[in-house]
Amino acid sequence: MILQPYVELMKNSLQANLNIMNVAIIGCGLIGEKRALSIPSENIHIVCDTDNNQAKKLAKKVNANFTNNYKDIINDKDIDIIIISTPNYLIKEIAIKALNSKKHVLSEKPLGKNVAESKEITECAKKNNKILYTGFNHRFHPSILKAKDLIDSNKIGNVLHVHGHYGHGGRPGMEKEWRMNPALSGGGELLDQGVHLIDLALLFKGMPNKVFGATGQLAWKSKVEDSASFMLLYENNINFLFSVGWIYWKNKFEFNIYGSNGFLSINGLGGSYGKENLTLGIRNLKGGIPEIQNFSFSENDNSWKREWKFFKELILKKEQSDNGYQANIVVDAIYTSSKKNQLVDV
């Protein structure tokens, strides 16, 4: 009992120190800006982008310094946390150097262009005793949080099957973007949006035992897949089935969870993906129409803020995460399955 006030004092002291940590953001595009606006501006010390005008623009929004050379940030001893929101091909080099310079790292997904890259980054974080976390903000959307709460409270019983779709229709000039070059991106739509569905599968069920997948180049002139369908297989014949595509010709997100006593159906992510809605259906044991309850979420997208808070808690608890590495393991297994046209162990 005597120690309890001291423990609370130390906890509050650690939290206070965490609140004054200096943050740097490398990559000032759309995602970099979302990350920047999700954290207190007084924490952001400097932002970086090879496009000096873009860096300057974001710096002005968050009242921070700016540079066009990320090595300025790596070598800055005042920086405690680095957020990486660059294209895929730059993440490994920056993350390794940041971790070796004793910075905590929050990296945009995917952590690596392949599992070898993400493994190297993850091992580097552990070697340096620094926290590495891969950003999958969809986990922190209100519909996903509500669904997880309902599942954890056994509202729909045991999860038996999940079926999801995620995609969009591309944009003019997309064929010329870096993401269409496999040497720069590591892959196409599977690694772009499919990895979000994989992360949600890991959230709700964990790592699968096997996968089966098929990828295709159907509409876009590129060397990476513009569509993919894949199945994650678990014990007792439980499977999750997903499809993703740049061929949907509209922004689309659906995530349906079927349990032994009911179901959960999520539609939309807000913004251009449509209003975020969750439907809970409770099984009618006599057959017929289930009992339905609808939840609608009209908030601005606060998933980035929730994820930032979660990342800070990892630092506070000194709790390592290999979420990006796990997602890359599943992605690589799906690519192998597609190439060999067979089930692949994970």
pLDDT digits 0-9 by tens, 120-158: 999 999 999 999 999 999 999 999 999 999 999 999 999
Q: Taking Cα atoms as reference points, which of 68, 12, 75, 16 lies closest to residue 43?
A: 16
What are the backbone dihedrals phi and psi of residue 84, each rounded to the nearest 5 degrees, phi first?
A: -105, 115
Q: Taking Cα atoms as reference points, which of 320, 117, 323 lies closest to residue 207?
A: 323
Given this model, what pLDDT does residue 318 score?
Answer: 96
Q: What pTM value is reported for the model?
A: 0.93
3-state helix, strand, coil in the chain (%, to 5): 45, 25, 30
Contact between 188 and 298 under an 8 Å Cβ cutoff? The reply is no
pLDDT digit string (tens) for 172-208? 889 999 999 999 999 999 999 999 999 999 999 999 9
Q: Looking at this protein, which amino acid is placed at residue 16?
A: A
Q: Which tokens sit at 8?
A: 């609370």
d(CA 174, CA 26): 23
d(CA 20, CA 133): 19
The CA-based angle 285-282-293, given to 5 degrees, is 145
The residue written with tokens 């070598």 in the block is 75
* Domains of the chain, earliest start first: 3-137 (3.40.50.720), 139-305+329-345 (3.30.360.10)
d(CA 234, CA 302): 32
SS3 321: coil
Distances (CA, A) of 86 to 78, 83, 139, 182: 22, 9, 21, 16
Contact between 111 and 121 under an 8 Å Cβ cutoff? The reply is yes
d(CA 207, CA 196): 14
| Paired sense of beta strands 104-108 and 81-84, if any | parallel
Q: Which runs of E-coded beta strand occur in 59-141?
A: 65-67, 81-84, 104-108, 132-135
What are the backbone dihedrals phi and psi of residue 336, each rounded to the nearest 5 degrees, phi first?
A: -65, -40
Distances (CA, A) of 65 to 24, 36, 47, 95, 267: 9, 13, 6, 21, 39
Average pLDDT across each block of 10 residues of the chain; the chain has 346 residues. List them in order. 43 55 97 95 94 96 96 96 98 98 98 98 98 98 98 97 96 92 97 98 98 96 96 97 96 98 97 96 90 93 96 96 97 98 98
